[in-house]
Amino acid sequence: MPVFAAIDLGASSGRIISGDVEGNQIHTREVSRFTNGPIRVPERGKAGLYWDIHRIWNQINNGLRILQSESIESVGIDSWAVDYGLIGNNGKLLTSPYSYRDSRTKSVPGKLFGKVSPQRFYRHNGLQVINFNTVFQLLASMENEDDRRLTEAARHILLLPDLIVYWLSGKIYAEATNASSTGLLDPSTRRWSREILQLYTRQTGMDIAQKLPDVIESGKCIGPVLQDVIPLRNGKDLPTNVVSVGSHDTASAVAAIPAKTDNFAYISCGTWSLVGLELAAPVLTEASCKANFTNELGVDGTVRYLRNIMGMWILNGCVAKWREKEPHLSFAEIDEAAAKAPSMRTIIDVNDPIFADPGDMLVRIDRLADETDQPRPREIGEYARCIYESLALAHARTIHQAAALADVPVDTVNIVGGGAKNLLLCQLTADACGLPVTVGPVEATALGNLLVQARASGAVGDSLSEMRFVVSQSVASITLNPEGKKTDWQQAAARIFSKER
């Protein structure tokens, strides 16, 4: 039977997962896993944040070489969004890609919207305003002489999964789901937005349209893996193909949600919580713009209508500090302490900009508690409980907003990704939403990646619902019903969101 390989890159870790489909089930195996994270590089008197892309590439090679003895039908790549590499005329990478957490973009949206209406911008790209969106990164590159020179010298601008595809296959494309995170793509046409590209040229004097690859949808066979890169073969002793999948990791994750109804909301919970709905068309209203919801593209012509919420990033920052004194502290111990901690003692706005940069999250939680006249958490369990309840509240608020703005009902919520392992967070989310929450799969991103490949080879049915049925038959899930008091959550929401900052 054909075997498929998913390259699943996250901001904190990467992994290679293989999978094969037998009947209505997919069987997966983790081939390799490696840590990831931005690195600080001194430049111009300060430290810039970059991705060590050559280390990432080497780890991908190491993982795929483990599969050389197997018959691999195809390979697919997904990753986080917005970051990109610059390819020169000689076909080589010009410089290490910036990390989206680099500070150079912080003032860019304000400068742009001093000249251009946010509503006008939104009508053409449907994207929420986050300072690290690709379009803002590219505008920031024009403000520094060295970055401008490199950008002008680039022949191609490739988002990170497209860069890996290029190194594997020699082919240059932009896969639609990740391209939609750039702010340069029109979600209605699923092509680069002529209006936004013209706007960029007027602002910078550079015609960036010439540097952007053709957009392709997921499920396309791009070409064989170059044999002088990694000599992978399939069962017919032909080169393994590279297949475009939902290259935005959230797009792959949503494709693997085992939804049993059309009226579902989803939370892809990891470093970020991506919270929203799957729609047939974008929502480009002024109200949607004001609420800062995004219209990113999904598999099979769908739209991921969502908001980014600061997710387990905050907890991970706390864990890093706790482990300075308790190196062996486990997440199980943290969750046990949180379950015993008092409820609704301290609630914070997890999307406050104070959490954007790496650093001591404990100090920042204390600061927000002081600013909102709430008691500071006193120990590990109370800090964790504060984060989980605050995150659950943000999940609920976002789902109800999305349903109202899109004018669709929501009957159930699906939580996938690493956050699905945290049953306390999942139960709190059910309580805050007042809706049943189905938990899992944890490895939804890799499953979505693998199933799009499997469908391209004919190993599963053509429809998204058939792919999701395979997930439901392959991975156990549980459903949590709301238990908490609705009035408690309403009061907590009023306490935090009554005065929007």
Q: What are phi and psi of 437, to 5 degrees?
A: -120, 125
What are the catalytic residues? 249
Q: DSSP string covering 335-371, please?
A: HHHHHHSPTTS----TT-GGGSSSS-HHHHHHHHHHH
DSSP state of 472: H
- CATH 3.30.420.40 in the chain, residues? 3-243, 262-440+477-501
Q: In sequence order, what are the residues at sequence separation of 6 or more whose Cβ sits closer than 8 angstroms to the Cβ of residue 105?
A: 131, 132, 136, 137, 139, 140
DSSP state of 41: E
Query: What pTM was computed for the model?
Result: 0.92
* Model pLDDT, residue 490: 84
Q: What is the largest CA-CA distance in the chain?
A: 67
Q: Does domain 3-243 have CATH number 3.50.50.60?
A: no
Say what the alpha-carbon torsion angle 311, 314, 320, 321 is, to the nearest 10 degrees.
-160
SS3 labels along 302-344: CEEEEEEEECCHHHHHHHHHHHHHCCCCCHHHHHHHHHHCCCC
* Model pLDDT, residue 501: 42
Give the Cα separation of 265 and 414 in Å (integer).
Answer: 6
Report the 10 Å Cβ neighbour count for 122: 23
Architecture of domain 262-440+477-501: 2-Layer Sandwich (3.30)
Q: Which helix (H) or strand (E) holds 241?
A: strand 241-243
Q: Which helix (H) or strand (E) holds 177?
A: helix 176-179
* Model pLDDT, residue 29: 97
Extract the residue ranges of the chain whose pLDDT is less than 50.
Answer: 501
Distances (CA, A) of 384 to 158, 269, 316, 352, 460: 38, 16, 10, 17, 41
* Model pLDDT, residue 242: 98
Q: pLDDT for 233-255, tens place per residue? A: 988 888 999 999 999 999 999 99
* Model pLDDT, residue 112: 94
* Model pLDDT, residue 42: 83
Q: pLDDT for 280-323, tens place per residue? A: 999 999 999 999 999 999 999 999 999 999 999 999 999 999 99
Distances (CA, A) of 432 to 35, 85, 459, 478, 484: 33, 40, 40, 18, 7
Radius of gyration over every alpha carbon of the chain, rounded to an integer in angstroms: 22
Q: Is 337 exposed, middle or buried (0-12, 13-18, 19+ CB in 10 A)?
A: middle
